[in-house]
C-alpha cells in the first residue's frame, strides 16, 4: 500500500473493482534487481502485467522483455524497446508467429524439443536459441508442471540439433517455480546447466548464456527474502558450478517486478451464513476467480486483504466471488480471517495484486466486465 | 458436429481458434425442453453463452432468461425479451444493481439470506423472490460447492422475512449440479421443497413456484439421458411430493441448451516429448484453460476431440494450452488418446463446446486474444 495509491482511490473513487499500480514501486523493484545482479540482463516477463505505462517505464530504464506471443512483442516494441532487447520466450510457437517475430527483428527464441528448433531454423535462420530444461520447482507456491522444458539428457541433443541447422546454440534456461521462497532453489538447475555447457563443449559447441528464469517472489502474507539475497545466492551458485568461466546471465522477473506494485480495490457484496447458527460467514466480493484473481486456484496464492475495520476482532470467513459459478470461491479450505464488524458495501483492498490479475480476467463471464486498471 | 458447421469452417477458414455455434441445434434443444416439460417455463441461463444471436433466437421462440447481472439483463432485453420473462437469478447482488434491474422492470429475484431480502425490499418493493436451498449435487460433473443456497431450515425464515417486508414470497429454487447424469437427482430437493411449501403454508404464506434450476447435460464422451427422461423423472417426483397441488415450475438450462450446439476449431502448435524415450507425447493446442476451456479445471469436463486422422491408431497424450502458464494443462492425470500420426499444424475440433467457453476466456493473457465466436 503506497500513499500514491491511497490518494488516487480517495480522490478518484472509481466505480467497481479495479487494480491500481504505482509505477514508483516498479521503478524501485527494477533498481533492486539491477543493483543486486549488475551483470545480469533483466528481461521483464510481459505476461505478468502488460500495461503500456509499465512497459514504457521499464523500457526507459533499460529493461529487456520476455514475450509469450507476437502481440506481446508488438507491445514491447511500441513501448520503446529495440528488437535486440526482446526474447520470444514461449516454447510453444506457431511457425507463422516465428516468421512474424523474425520479420519484427526478434533474434532470441526458446525451445525445448527438436520440432520447435526446426520451425525456427526455417523461419528465423541464424537466430539464437536457448533450450529450457525441466526443474522440480520445490519451494514454489504457484504450481509448476512439466509443461515446459525437457530432461537435461535430451537438451544436449536439442541444442546440437539447433547448431547443425544453422542456429546459434546460445544457452540453457530453466524456471525454479513462481513465487519461489527458497533462495537456494537455483543451485541444482545451475549444476545441470554447467554440465550441459561441458557436454556441448565436448561436441564442439560453445554455449554462452544461462537464463535463470523468474520465481522472484512478491510479499503476500509471509515475509520473503529480498532481491539481494537471491542475487547473492545465485551468484554463489554460478561461481560454484561454472568456476571462473562465468556465462552471460538473464533473469525474467514478472511477479517480483510488479506484484507488489498493485492493489485491487473491491467491495463486499454480501455476507451470509448457510444456516442460522453457522460459525463461518460467507463473504462475497465483487471480484473473484474469473475477474482477475485466477491465482487463487487451489488456494495457491493467498493475498493480504485490508479493510477499514481491521482494528477490531476477526473471525474466519469463506471468501467468494460474485459470479453464478460454484467454482468461483477464493478461500474455503483455509478460511480467511476478516473483521467481525465487516459489513455489506465495505471497501476491501487486496494487496500485492500487480501481477497476473488484469490479463487473467474473463472477457465477460456472467456479464461482468474485465478488471479495470489504473497505472499511476 | 453438424453439416452447417463443417461447411462454415470449410468455406470461411477462420484464422486462429474459434467457436462456431449452430442455431438449428439450439432451436432443437429448446423444442425438446418445451415438448418434454410443457407446463414448465424455460429460463435460459444466459451465462452459458450470451451471444446476441442465441438470445434473440430463444426470445423469438418464447424462452425466458435467467440473468446473473444487470449487463445480462440488458442483453436479454436487447434480444427482445420483455421484463416479465427475465429473472435476476444471482443470489449475490449489489444493492445498486437491484435498483437498476427494478428500474428496467425486473420483478423476479433470487435470495438465500435475509440480508439479500433486505436489499430487495428496499430497492424492488413488492417483487417476487424465491429462496435457493442447498442441494448435495451428487452425480454432477462440474463441482457444486456450498456457495449458493442455505439450509432448508433457514430458508423458511428467509421466505417469511421476505413476506413480512412486503415482498412476494414466491417459491424455492435449487440446483442439482451442472452436467447432472442422474435423472433422479431432483427427487430429494423436491421433497425438501414440498416440505417448505407445507411449513410456509402453516405460517400463512402460500408459496407457488419451484425453480428446478439447471443441470441438464451435454453429451461429451459418454452418453447422457435425453431431455424426455429428465422431464418424466422430474414430473414423477413433483407428483410424488406435491400430490395434486402442483406448483408452477421453472427450469434454467444453459449447458443443456447450447453446449452441444458449438464446436471449437483449434490447431496443434507443437508435439513433443520430455525425454527421447518418453511414451507419452505432449500435444499443445492454440487454445487452453485461459482461452475458453476453463471447465477443464481439475479435468472436470472432458471434451470429445476429432482430428482428420482418427481412422488410424491412437496413443495417450498430455494435452496443454499455448500460454506460458504451467497451470494451462487440459488433460494430464488422465491422458487423452489422440492419433499417433497427429502432426504440428493439424486442425482439431473440440466438440460440445457451445456453453461456458467464450465468456470464460481471458481478456488477453499472454497477449492472446479472447476466443472468437461465430453463430450461424
User: Average of pLDDT values for B294-319?
Assistant: 95
Distances (CA, A) of B98 to A131, A271, B87, B324: 55, 16, 11, 40
Q: Is the pLDDT of residue A314 over 80?
A: yes
The pLDDT mean for chain A works out to 95
Across the interface, whether the CB atoms of B324 and A361 are under 8 A apart is answered no
User: Average of pLDDT values for B148-174?
Assistant: 97
User: Phi first, then psi: what are they for B271, rounded to 5°?
Assistant: -125, 125
What integer pLDDT is reported at residue A178 of this predicted model?
85
Chain A nearest-CA distance from B271, in A, is: 8
Chain A nearest-CA distance from B1, in A, is: 25
Q: Is the pLDDT of residue B243 over 90?
A: yes
In this prediction, what percent of chain B has a pLDDT beyond 90? Answer: 90
Residues of chain A numbered 323-352 and touching chain B (CB < 8 Å): 323-329, 332, 344-345
Chain A residues lying within 8 Å of B329, measured CB to CB: 145, 147
Domains of chain A: 89-253 (3.20.20.10), 260-375 (2.40.37.10)
The set of cell numbers assigned to B185 is 437427482
Please give the residue of chain A at the shortest CA–CA distance from B145. A326
Chain B nearest-CA distance from A167, in A, is: 19
Q: Which of B364, B370, B371, B373 to mutate to test the interface with A (most CBs of A within 10 A)?
A: B364
- pLDDT, tens digit, 9 for 90 and up, residues B337-357: 999 999 999 999 999 999 999
Grouping H, G, I as helix, E, B as strand and the rest as coil, residue A182 is coil
What integer pLDDT is reported at residue B281 of this predicted model?
96
Active-site residue set of A:
324
- Under 8 Å CB-to-CB from B200, ≥6 apart: which residues? B156, B159, B160, B169, B206, B207
Grouping H, G, I as helix, E, B as strand and the rest as coil, residue A180 is strand
User: Average of pLDDT values for A123-147?
Assistant: 85
Q: Which of A76, A93, A347, A367 to mutate to test the interface with B (most CBs of B within 10 A)?
A: A367
What integer pLDDT is reported at residue A139 of this predicted model?
72
Q: Is the pLDDT of residue B238 over 60?
A: yes
- pLDDT, tens digit, 9 for 90 and up, residues A263-272: 999 999 999 9
User: Average of pLDDT values for A154-173?
Assistant: 98
The set of cell numbers assigned to B137 is 449435487
Across the interface, whether the CB atoms of B93 and A269 are under 8 A apart is answered yes
| Residue whose C-alpha is closest to residue A191's, from A145, A230, A152 | A152
Please give the residue of chain B at the shortest CA–CA distance from A74. B367
The pLDDT mean for chain B works out to 95
How many CB pairs lie under 8 A apart between chains A and B?
Answer: 211
Task: Report the alpha-carbon distance of residue B134 to residue A274 in Å, rounded.
Answer: 8
User: Average of pLDDT values for B72-93?
Assistant: 98
Please give the residue of chain A at the shortest CA–CA distance from B95. A269
- pLDDT, tens digit, 9 for 90 and up, residues B221-233: 888 999 999 999 9
Q: Is the pLDDT of residue A99 over 90?
A: yes
Nearest Cβ partner of A361 from B282, B362, B366?
A: B362
User: Average of pLDDT values for B23-29?
Assistant: 98
Secondary structure (H, E, C), chain B:
CCHHHHHHHHHHCCCCCEEEECHHHHHHHHHHHHHHCCCEEEEEEHHHCCCHHHHHHHHHHCCEEEECCHHHHHHHHHCCCCHHHEEECCCCCCHHHHHHHHHCCCCEEEECCHHHHHHHHHHCCCCEEEEEECCCCCCECCCCCCCCCECHHHHHHHHHHHHHCCCEEEEEECCCCCCECCCCCHHHHHHHHHHHHHHHHHCCCCCCEEECCCCCCCCCCCCCCCHHHHHHHHHHHHHHHHCCCCCEEEECCCHHHHHHHEEEEEEEEEEECCCCCCCCEEEEECCCCCCCCHHHHHHCCCCCEEECCCCCCEEEEEEECCCCCCCCEEEEEEEEEEECCCCCCCEEEEECCCCCCHHHCECCHHHCCCCEEEEC
Residues paired with residue B348 on neighbouring β-strands, in sequence order = B266, B307
Per-residue pLDDT band for B140 (boundaries 50, 70, 90) equals confident
Per-residue pLDDT band for A138 (boundaries 50, 70, 90) equals confident
Task: Report the alpha-carbon distance of residue B231 to residue A109 in Å, rounded.
Answer: 56
Task: Report the alpha-carbon distance of residue B155 to residue B140 in Å, rounded.
Answer: 23
What integer pLDDT is reported at residue A274 of this predicted model?
94
- Give the H/E segment covering residue A96: helix A95-103
In this prediction, what percent of chain A has a pLDDT beyond 70? Answer: 99
Task: Report the alpha-carbon distance of residue A25 to residue B27 in Å, rounded.
Answer: 54
| Residue whose C-alpha is closest to residue A358's, from A54, A5, A34 | A54
Distances (CA, A) of B350 to A362, B301, B347: 20, 12, 10
Nearest Cβ partner of A297 from B327, B361, B366?
A: B327
What integer pLDDT is reported at residue B145 of this predicted model?
76
Q: Which of A74, A366, A373 to mutate to test the interface with B (most CBs of B within 10 A)?
A: A366
User: Phi first, then psi: what are they for A326, rounded to 5°?
Assistant: -70, -20
Task: Report the alpha-carbon distance of residue B74 to residue B85 in Å, rounded.
Answer: 12
Task: Report the alpha-carbon distance of residue B198 to residue B207 in Å, rounded.
Answer: 9
Please give the residue of chain A at the shortest CA–CA distance from B68. A366
Across the interface, whether the CB atoms of A92 and B146 are under 8 A apart is answered no
Q: Within a 10 A sphere around the Cβ of A71, how many other Cβ atoms?
A: 16
Chain A residues lying within 8 Å of B273, measured CB to CB: 113, 150, 154
Chain B residues lying within 8 Å of A91, measured CB to CB: 270
User: Average of pLDDT values for B82-91?
Assistant: 98
Q: Is the pLDDT of residue A159 over 90?
A: yes
Nearest Cβ partner of B146 from A72, A274, A345?
A: A274
Query: Is A16 at the interface with chain B, CB within 8 A?
Result: no
Q: Is the pLDDT of residue B7 over 80?
A: yes
Residues of chain A numbered 30-59 and touching chain B (CB < 8 Å): 45-47, 50
Nearest Cβ partner of A365 from B45, B273, B359?
A: B359
What integer pLDDT is reported at residue A142 of this predicted model?
64
The set of cell numbers assigned to B341 is 500420426
Q: Is the pLDDT of residue B178 over 90?
A: no
- Residue found under cell 429448446: B30
What integer pLDDT is reported at residue B119 of this predicted model?
98
Chain A residues lying within 8 Å of B92, measured CB to CB: 269-270, 284, 320, 322
Across the interface, whether the CB atoms of A326 and B366 are under 8 A apart is answered no
Do residues A125 and A166 touch, judged by C-beta distance below 8 A? yes
Please give the residue of chain B at the shortest CA–CA distance from A93. B269
Do residues A306 and A268 touch, judged by C-beta distance below 8 A? no
Across the interface, whether the CB atoms of A327 and B145 are under 8 A apart is answered yes
Chain A nearest-CA distance from B244, in A, is: 31
- Residue found under cell 497476473: A356
Distances (CA, A) of B292 to A48, A69, B131, B349, B372: 19, 17, 32, 14, 10
Distances (CA, A) of A314 to A183, A280, A342: 34, 11, 9
Across the interface, whether the CB atoms of A269 and B94 are under 8 A apart is answered yes
Across the interface, whether the CB atoms of B270 and A326 are under 8 A apart is answered no
Q: Which of A113, A348, A363 to mutate to test the interface with B (most CBs of B within 10 A)?
A: A363
Q: Is the pLDDT of residue A143 over 80?
A: no
Alpha carbon of residue B265 to chain centroid: 21
The set of cell numbers assigned to A85 is 532487447
Q: Is the pLDDT of residue B117 over 70?
A: yes
Residues of chain B numbered 289-308 and touching chain A (CB < 8 Å): 290, 294, 297
Per-residue pLDDT band for B144 (boundaries 50, 70, 90) equals low
Chain A residues lying within 8 Å of B155, measured CB to CB: none
What integer pLDDT is reported at residue A17 of this predicted model?
97
Do residues A81 and A57 touch, judged by C-beta distance below 8 A? no
Query: Is A99 at the interface with chain B, CB within 8 A?
Result: no
Chain B nearest-CA distance from A152, in A, is: 8
Do residues A140 and A218 touch, judged by C-beta distance below 8 A? no
Q: Is the pLDDT of residue B68 over 80?
A: yes
Amino acid at each position: 500500500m503506497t500513499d500514491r495509491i491511497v490518494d488516487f482511490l480517495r480522490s478518484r473513487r472509481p466505480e467497481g473493482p479495479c487494480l491500481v499500480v504505482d509505477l514508483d514501486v516498479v521503478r524501485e523493484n527494477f533498481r533492486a534487481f539491477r543493483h543486486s545482479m549488475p551483470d545480469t540482463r533483466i528481461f521483464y516477463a510481459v505476461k505478468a502485467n502488460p500495461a503500456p505505462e509499465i512497459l514504457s517505464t521499464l523500457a526507459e530504464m533499460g529493461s529487456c522483455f520476455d514475450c509469450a506471443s507476437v502481440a506481446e512483442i508488438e507491445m514491447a516494441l511500441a513501448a520503446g524497446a529495440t528488437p535486440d532487447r526482446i526474447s520470444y520466450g514461449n516454447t510453444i510457437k506457431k511457425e507463422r508467429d516465428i516468421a512474424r517475430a523474425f520479420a519484427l527483428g526478434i533474434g532470441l527464441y526458446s525451445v525445448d524439443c527438436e520440432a520447435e528448433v526446426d520451425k525456427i531454423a526455417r523461419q528465423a535462420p541464424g537466430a539464437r536459441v536457448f533450450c529450457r530444461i525441466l526443474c522440480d520447482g520445490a519451494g514454489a507456491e504457484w504450481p509448476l508442471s512439466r509443461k515446459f522444458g525437457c530432461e537435461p539428457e535430451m537438451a544436449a541433443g536439442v541444442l546440437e540439433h539447433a547448431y547443425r541447422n544453422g542456429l546459434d546454440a546460445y544457452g540453457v534456461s530453466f524456471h525454479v517455480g513462481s513465487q519461489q521462497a527458497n533462495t537456494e532453489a537455483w543451485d541444482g538447475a545451475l549444476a545441470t546447466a554447467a554440465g550441459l555447457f561441458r557436454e556441448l563443449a565436448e561436441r564442439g559447441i560453445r554455449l554462452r548464456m544461462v537464463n535463470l528464469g523468474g520465481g522472484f517472489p512478491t510479499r503476500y502474507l509471509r515475509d520473503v527474502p529480498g532481491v539481494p539475497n537471491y542475487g547473492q545466492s545465485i551468484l554463489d551458485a554460478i561461481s560454484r558450478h561454472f568456476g571462473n568461466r562465468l556465462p552471460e546471465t538473464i533473469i525474467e522477473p514478472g511477479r517480483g517486478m510488479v506484484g507488489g506494485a498493485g492493489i485491487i480495490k473491491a467491495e463486499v457484496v454480501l455476507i451470509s451464513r448457510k444456516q442460522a447458527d453457522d460459525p463461518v460467514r460467507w463473504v462475497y466480493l465483487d471480484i473473484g476467480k474469473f475477474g482477475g484473481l485466477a491465482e487463487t486456484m487451489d488456494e495457491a496464492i493467498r493475498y493480504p486483504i485490508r479493510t477499514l475495520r481491521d482494528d477490531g476482532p476477526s473471525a474466519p470467513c469463506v471468501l467468494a466471488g460474485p459470479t453464478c459459478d460454484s467454482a468461483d470461491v477464493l478461500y474455503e479450505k483455509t478460511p480467511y480471517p476478516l473483521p467481525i464488524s465487516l459489513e455489506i458495501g465495505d471497501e476491501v483492498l487486496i494487496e500485492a495484486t500487480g501481477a497476473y490479475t488484469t490479463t487473467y480476467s474473463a472477457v465477460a463471464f456472467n456479464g461482468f466486465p474485465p478488471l479495470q486498471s489504473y497505472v499511476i
